[in-house]
Amino acid sequence: MAEVQAVKDLDTVKLISYLLKRTYGQQIADVWDVGLNLALRISDLLSIKFENIHDERLTQIEGKTSKQATIKLNDKARSIIARIKEELPKHIYLFQSYRNQWAKGLDKAPISRRYVSRAFAAIGEEVGIKLGTHSMRKTRGYHLYKNTNDIARVMKMLRHSSEAATLRYIGITQEDVDRDFAELEL
């Protein structure tokens, strides 16, 4: 699997959302926007059911780690989720697939990770970034770190156990650390 990047420029984050909506539709743009705000792995993001959302919180068991993630939804995430629920009140999944909506007897399912991955990769090529499904999580971690300089906080949000892994994951390089030392004089 190719290494994907965090989107370090906030204007590019917005541009990606716009391009996803224009090229792939509102649902894929919503995956991007909600994914940025929840910092979940793609499999966990796509498996969100409306029943997992209560009192402005998402509670879900993570597939990879079996840890419980309890996430307070910010205004943007709540707004998108409320719009989706209002537009599609019979959906079970937040990002439910339309592919089997007319088929009789098929269980409801979320959109596929593969479809999201392909859409993100194509838009990434357009903007010149190695974009993938982990880019949402990496982008959230990167910007939290840049705003707080608190790696422990980023580790807690991403539910990582190692500072080194978290720094590598969000794309903080030795070059970035060197620049921070050079720019901050006390």
With a CB cutoff of 8 Å and minimum separation 6, the contacts of 171 are: 5, 6, 8, 138, 142
Reference 134, options 146, 149, 143, 121; nearest CA is 121
Per-residue pLDDT, 171: 83
With a CB cutoff of 8 Å and minimum separation 6, the contacts of 63 are: 41, 43, 44, 47
**Per-residue pLDDT tens digits of the chain, which is 186 residues long:** 568 999 999 999 999 999 999 999 999 999 999 999 999 999 999 999 999 999 899 999 888 888 888 999 999 999 999 999 999 999 999 999 987 555 556 788 999 999 999 999 999 999 999 999 999 999 999 999 999 988 889 888 888 888 888 888 888 776 777 777 788 777
Per-residue pLDDT, 186: 76
Per-residue pLDDT, 182: 80
Per-residue pLDDT, 10: 96
Strand partners, 61: 68
Domains in the chain and their CATH numbers?
A: 10-183 (1.10.443.10)
Per-residue pLDDT, 25: 97
Per-residue pLDDT, 38: 95
